[in-house]
Structure 1
């Protein structure tokens, strides 16, 4: 009897080794279920934060740039958003216009000047970012020049003269504004920099004490009728982005208005921010969609997890980014500033004087969705999560064109979960399945999943953590 029991024991052990059983959540990849494409993640250094970066000493400058754009040591960002200036002067926190002085009339030649101070060092930053792998440059104007607007100033809202429901004694300034944008794009082209997308509004639902211009959907369409043919006439391939609403629903209103006016064909990229209303159901458009700005303003926070739902925690931003891709079907996600000399959480890196660079955990949340793991041309694919225990997982997966797959698993619960990944065997090229962990103690720490037979891999995902599988 003892011998038989021993033999049975050996057989059961062999069976268990050949067909291991999952002891926690099982994530199954569905590579045949395809969603939107992927453009990347990004940041801005508008309002002279490019100048702040430029003033760092060389070592700190390279460190900050690599943190943001390197796909080897940093977040691997692939999108840079620059600001098109509208200010008549270039004091700090202003973006000086290339047409700072009003012409004689709305039909006169604009008084162009060269890009002020290297476009507040955004030209220099564009070169640096492209050299580190950035694929897209997006140039956005917060406002037209004050003399083109109903209120006569670049600040406190106002409307572009010539659009619906405006009446300006100086006439219609739509063509002049379009001409200025064309010249700006040509200035960059002459320097060897292609601007892929250009916007003419920023948070047009708000009036702010800094550069701002208001517009509803019909009024945006009124300008698109002028800007679109102006770009074509100039031989520019730059596509128009619109409209950087302050929140998801504010942007939806403007997009709906543009569609109702029949000008949606002129828009190449739909853009929104995440402030006034959170990203939710996708926009009813076939256009690519980016969240082009979002941040938080509470006192400086370097932590991954402080308390449930704390707005500046790294974990909070990991969920924001993931849900934007998974729920709102965005193809790109941009935080506000990448690096800045600020006293709140508007940036991912804090710089001080000429040398100090401090990194927040929010940067590493972005890195999981950057080009270190997800390549240009990737497609988001389906995932299902099954479990034999209670868990709090959010999961996304992106299939790259080179056959690799990146899977992001966020554990919002308190307990460690043993996560089994399935469904990748037919697409795997061989080699170890690497994992990358970020939480309070780890910043993209590399490890290896335990690969099992039958197309499975198992890894531990601690509570309040983000772990990426790279297959």
Structure 2
């Protein structure tokens, strides 16, 4: 039986934006093309957890400033499986982050080790309604994990949420209890927390909310958090470590995973893209393969964005989307199970951000003009999130070409999704082969395609 291939395309200098093109067919006869790819279905690797972005107070506040129809459009664009791009794995923050309106914690009472004053009212103003509205989108189904940027100031050695400092040893158990309380409070509001990371960027001393953990400190805190969650009946909550730049990842995973008493509590490793040389055509991801093959732990890209210096420079830019596509393909080809962008939405300044650490987002909402800008990363990410479903299995691709980037997955419904990306200034012709059949496809310059069959 001849297989038909549906081609979905986004291309620069065209109107193609996740546009379904002509249906093609595999043919038995030989197909000549300058590039050849062959699907190797027997070469199976990781299963997909999901794709998505982060719910932040900044994004929530931004959408609260515009008419409800714009808010609804943005939420549908991300979470509707057909009209949108079907996000399935998302992140949010415990306490404040830089993309909050200011520093805050759920209890700021000095020495509140019993968490008597624990209060989610700040989240209930903007953040929780944002998440719940996304959950209410027709067909929406996503997992949610949470990351702290900083414990309350009174738990830290520097007495403040910003600019470094460490978690005081006498508050390690209190902080673990804080995680459990947070998860249960969200559960009581009909929001399940699927997972947590120990700490966002634990090696970064920044002007905004942060907390430093050396390798051994994160290893030892896992031994407190894991049993605490289990005792609270939350043993199914996934614990991820590191949550920082993968170019400094190896010593962290070696320290944690060579200790069986720490490793047993950890489901996976979160990583970011900052600190890498973005001039390289292909991202250096050997540390991901090392981690997966050595320790058999799951890998999730937990944050990435383009820093923003002038919002006007980013609206409509194409290289930003290509950067996303390049990283997603490289990470997926090195055992990554989930890929989560940073802010889902920001305002026309790339904020709000309480320390002016502005950045780009796939969707920018101009709150002054009540206008939505869909930037190229939105479409590039959609080529993965909409067509590679949770539970999909990575399958092999034999490549005789290094001009194009490619990755392939078999979905739970037995459909196949192949993503091909061309960063060159010229169109490229390639053949896709499987089981003695082949099809010839042309991909335009600066384009990305998802092939579904």
TM-score, normalised via structure 2 length: 0.83
1:302 to 281, 302, 315: 315
Corresponding residue number in structure 2 for 1:358: 373
RMSD, aligned α-carbons: 2.3
- Specify the SS of the correspondent of 1:229: helix
Larger mean Cα displacement after TM superposition, 263-272 or 42-51: 42-51
Work out the number of aligned pairs and report it: 400
Corresponding residue number in structure 1 for 2:109: 101
Structure 2 matches for 1:23-422, cutoff 5 A? 23-85=33-95, 93-94=101-102, 96-103=104-111, 108-132=113-137, 133-162=140-169, 172-236=170-234, 237-245=236-244, 247-262=245-260, 263-277=262-276, 280-281=285-286, 282=288, 283=291, 284-298=294-308, 299-300=310-311, 301-303=314-316, 305=318, 312-326=319-333, 328-341=334-347, 342-343=349-350, 345-353=359-367, 355-370=370-385, 372-386=386-400, 392-422=403-433
**Structure 1: distance between partners of 2:331 and 2:31:** 33
Are the counterparts in 2 of residues 216 and 257 from structure 1 also a CA contact under 8 Å? no
TM-score, normalised via structure 1 length: 0.80
- Specify the SS of the correspondent of 1:218: helix
**Structure 2: distance between partners of 1:129 and 1:47:** 14
Are the counterparts in 2 of residues 271 and 290 from structure 1 also a CA contact under 8 Å? yes
- Specify the SS of the correspondent of 1:456: strand
Are the counterparts in 1 of residues 31 and 440 from structure 2 also a CA contact under 8 Å? no
**Structure 2: distance between partners of 1:421 and 1:18:** 12
Pair 91,140 (structure 1): closer, same or farther in 2 beyond 3 Å: closer
Shift of 1:20: 4.7
Larger mean Cα displacement after TM superposition, 457-466 or 197-206: 457-466
Pair 97,119 (structure 1): closer, same or farther in 2 beyond 3 Å: farther
- Specify the SS of the correspondent of 1:347: coil
Measured against aligned partners, the alpha-carbon deviations of 1:428-454 in whole angstroms (never above 9, x if no partner) come to: xxxxxxxxxxxxxxxxxxxxxxxxxx6
Measured against aligned partners, the alpha-carbon deviations of 1:280-329 in whole angstroms (never above 9, x if no partner) come to: 21223211111101111143323454xxxxxx521222111111111x32
Shift of 1:49: 2.0
Pair 131,157 (structure 1): closer, same or farther in 2 beyond 3 Å: same
Give ranges in structure 1 of 5+ residues lacking alignment.
1-16, 163-171, 306-311, 426-453
**Structure 1: distance between partners of 2:88 and 2:254:** 29
Measured against aligned partners, the alpha-carbon deviations of 1:89-123 in whole angstroms (never above 9, x if no partner) come to: x995235321121236xxx4223243123445332
**Structure 1 outlier segments of 4+, above 4 Å:** none
Give ranges in structure 2 of 5+ residues lacking alignment.
1-26, 277-282, 351-357
Shift of 1:417: 2.2
Pair 196,286 (structure 1): closer, same or farther in 2 beyond 3 Å: same
